[in-house]
Amino acid sequence: MAKRIYQDWKGKNKFILGGRCIFGPDAKSVLMTVLLIVVPVIIFCVFVARHLLHRFSSYNAGYAVLLLTIAFTVYVLVLLLLTSSRDPGIIPRSSHPPEEEISQGVDSGGRPTPSVQLPRFKEVMVNGQPVKVKYCDTCMLYRPPRCSHCSICDNCVERFDHHCPWVGQCIGQRNYRYFFMFVSSATVLCIFVFVMSALYVKFLRDENSSLLKAMRESPASIIIIGYCFISLWFVGGLTGFHLYLIGTNQTTYENFRYRTDSRVNVHDRGCPVNFVEVFCSKIKPSRNNFRAYVSETETAVAAAEDDFASEPRAKVEDDLELGGDLLKISQRRNYEDREEDFSGGGRGRNGLRGSSGDGGGGDRDFDLGFGAEVEGLPTGGEVRHSSRSRSRRSGSWDISADILAMNGLETGGAPASRRAPSHFRPG
């Protein structure tokens, strides 16, 4: 049976209702946030708002306090759900790196390497100003401006603001509006409950002519007042901070990362336009259809990528290099073996002497000792030695005719017209 996209999702998100709702990996924290909102409101309604029903001159004013508290609490919970259960602006991962940017790497010896090299940064134009965008190795794409990869959700998110543990979700382009409305509404709810609880304590004090007696008569009111006062420092401060960010068109991520830089904010278009952009612009549709079926091609590609990722990286590179340079590696090893065998057999002062055998050229001497010169070789030929052999030997060069001929083949040169004798006798 074909899988749906949310069932084969590469990120760390959690899905419910068949992929209709998407949460972060820390979705359980949403339940804690709900309890922090609902429990104080229930205490307020039972021990405070119920006693305010007939405390006002207008008979229905007390009921309005209770109904308004319940309705506003439901509104805050709906905003919390919209913030935490929707796609924040996740950019789908690519199945392969951008082909137009692929370049083959080169090692220290000038040979091409099997690894793919991609430039880490590119420049794009935003409001007429160049902005650098970074390549994401996990998602295999260049992130759009203001996009960042969330390490908790393991996704690239458009206009990434931050990952909020209280809502268990990333805050990005598609849910930032609801996040701000949730925080600001929670602030208003705290202020309303705080004021109503303090008003009820005032009524009790007027009746008992003592604040201490009033506090003893309704300890729940004092607890609610203290809880709302502490909560206001968090949600109220967060509301003020995000009002500043909206007015300057910044994200939390940008503010904390670039606060020490003197760069110009290319996204700031003035305070009124910035507020219109956040609250009045149309929210972009999601790039992901989590309930769609995964095609057979995508499934095969994903399976191949998993198999490839499971193999050791060293083995993959060895296979690629051996497949392209097998002949060269074999010749190089033979060259080193012959050089070691020959150098171990005769390291005398006068080296080895070889005769030409047949031919009218007579005997030719080859002095191959320390610092010796080679006679009888074609002029103009230059013998090159690998850096590895040179590091093992300090000034000693032991050369045979077969090695010289092999070296000429490796370097692509023509074979020597005059070959050195192949028969050697100890000198």
Catalytic residues, which ones?
Answer: 164
Note the helical H segments in 284-400. Answer: 296-310, 313-345, 387-392
The H or E element that residue 106 is part of is: strand 103-106
Contact 45, 34 (CB under 8 A): no
* Cα dihedral 314, 317, 322, 325 sign: negative
Using CB atoms within 10 Å of the CB of residue 148, give its burial: 0 to 12 exposed, 13 to 18 middle, 19+ buried.
buried
Terminal CA-CA length for the chain: 81
Angle between helices 237-248 and 176-208 (to 10 degrees): 150
| CA-to-CA dists, residue 164 to 14, 150, 176, 211, 313, angstroms | 15, 11, 11, 40, 36
Bridge pairing between strands 162-164 and 169-171: antiparallel
Q: What DSSP character marks residue 414?
A: P
Query: 253 CB contacts (<8 Å, ≥6 apart)?
Result: 148, 160, 161, 162
**In which residue are the tokens 């790196």 written?**
97
Contact 76, 189 (CB under 8 A): yes
* Strands, E assignment, 118-168: 121-126, 129-136, 141-142, 148-150, 155-157, 162-164
Task: Give the residue among 286, 382, 332, 318 at the shortest CA–CA distance from 91.
Answer: 286
Helix (H, G, I), strand (E, B) or coil at 207: helix
